[in-house]
Amino acid sequence: MSLKQEIETWVEAIAFYDNNDFDSALRTFGNIPDTAKILFNCGVIHATLGEHKKAVQYYQRAIHRDNYLAIAYFQQGVSNFLIGDFEEAMANFNDALRFLRGNRFINYEQLGLKFRLYSCEVLFNRGLCSIYIQEKEAGMEDLHIAAKEKEKPDHDVIDEAIAEDAEGYTVFSIPVGVIYRPNAAKVKNLKTKDYLGKARLIAASEQGNTLAGSASADTKAQAAAINRSVDDRPPNTISYGASHMVKPNLYSRSRQQSEPPVHRNMFPPTPPPENDQIRPAFMVASTSPPSNPLSQSRASTLTNTPPSKPVRPEPLNLEAITQEKPRIGTTRTASEPRGPSSRRLHIHRERDHSGRPRLFGETTPHRPHS
């Protein structure tokens, strides 16, 4: 689906929603590729219909698309609170407080959602969850801190809840009819337009000026990067609750399923191949790392049986090995006899008993005269 078709389908779904035709709105939103905004809208529609379990599922899917979407954690907590899962709702509100990143509020209007998420509302909701699970002291502490960060007259209900020990009060939520809407400028520009027009010279510069301007731009970019690393937010925009009251070990179930736990390796160690497990001991000693239970293979950590020791070969008897001396001279061919020289044997036989060599005439057989 192209961007133009996506925006047109989005506008069509919004029209169904504004006319309270929620079923048609859900079907139309289902034709759009899954994004965090679209999934959040589907969750809001299901919550409007009272289907909070389905709403929670859509909020979780939206969080999988955007792990930092604080408003999705917030609304997931609202739905879990309304179905009576107060512990999970408290974890959802704690995540929403975490992703406020120390700010007193987040303005989602520039993203298409006409709503501001305030830290005092998140703290109030988390405090109510604590009170409902019989942790009144922690809950009242959240309420008192929320009362110090009120931003508008609607937040005066926090003081009333504190005076009445929060009995009979419910959580803050986004108003009815508030969902993500497409950017008005993009909707206006759906028709084809000629953005290029005619070319026109705006400015010109010499090569020397260009190099000087480039160096100046690099200097400004470095200075901007240094300034971004420093928290230069005005003090009145920083929330004490969002900066200091986030519970570090409390996470939503959906977050725990999609992300590895804290202080855990993302990828477990890979077990060695079978051939490496039966290498000789002298090879293992020279290549394997020192013994460390944290660096064992995944297979060895699943069972309590100790790993089998590598097979050690029998020591070599170097004295029994005799090396053949190199042959000097030419190499004998396969056709040559392997025994001693036949000429030497013949000469040895031709010697008489006295050891004197026999003469040629004595060795030559007698020929008869013709």
Q: How far apart are the first and last CA of the chain?
A: 124
Q: What is the pLDDT of residue 369?
A: 58
341 vs 99: which has the higher pLDDT: 99
The most confident of the ranges 132-136, 263-267, 313-317, 319-323 is 132-136
Higher pLDDT, 368 or 76: 76
Query: Structure pTM?
Result: 0.60
Judged against a pLDDT cut of 90, whether residue 199 lies above it is answered with no
CA trace torsion 57, 61, 67, 69 (10° rounding) = -70
Distance from C-alpha of 172 to C-alpha of 155, rounded to nearest angstrom: 10
Q: What is the mean pLDDT of residues 279-307?
A: 43
pLDDT at 303: 42
Q: Looking at per-residue confidence, does 250 or 306 come out higher?
A: 250
Q: What is the pLDDT of residues 144-163, one digit of tens each?
A: 999 999 999 999 999 999 99
Question: Phi and psi dihedrals of 182, rounded to 5?
Answer: -65, 155
Q: What percent of the chain has pLDDT over 90?
A: 45
- As a whole number, mean pLDDT of residues 337-347 equals 53
Identity of the amino acid at 19: N
Beta-carbon neighbour count of residue 274 at 10 Å? 7
Place of tokens 């060895």: 300
CA dihedral (338, 343, 346, 350) positive or negative: negative
Q: How confident is the model at residue 132 (pLDDT cuts 50, 70, 90)?
A: very high
CA nearest to 161, candidates 176, 151, 171 = 171
Residue 370 confidence (pLDDT): 53
Average pLDDT over residues 37-64: 96
Closest by alpha carbon to 179, among 67, 8, 20, 33?
20
**Would you state the pLDDT for residue 25?**
97
Separation of alpha carbons 161 and 120, rounded Å = 13
Assess whether pLDDT exceeds 80 at residue 200. no
Question: Contact 55/47 with Cβ under 8 angstroms?
Answer: yes
pLDDT, mean over the chain: 76
Give the pLDDT confidence score for residue 283 in this predicted structure: 43
Does the pLDDT value for residue 141 go beyond 60? yes
Stretch 309-315: mean pLDDT: 54
Q: Locate 194 and state its tokens.
A: 């000629």
| pLDDT at 268 exceeding the cut of 70 | no
pLDDT score recorded for residue 341: 53
Please report, rounded to a whole number, the percentage of residues in the chain having pLDDT higher than 70.
Answer: 57
More confident residue, 321 or 61: 61
Largest CA distance in the chain: 160
pLDDT of residue 329: 56
pLDDT digits 0-9 by tens, 230-243: 566 777 678 777 77
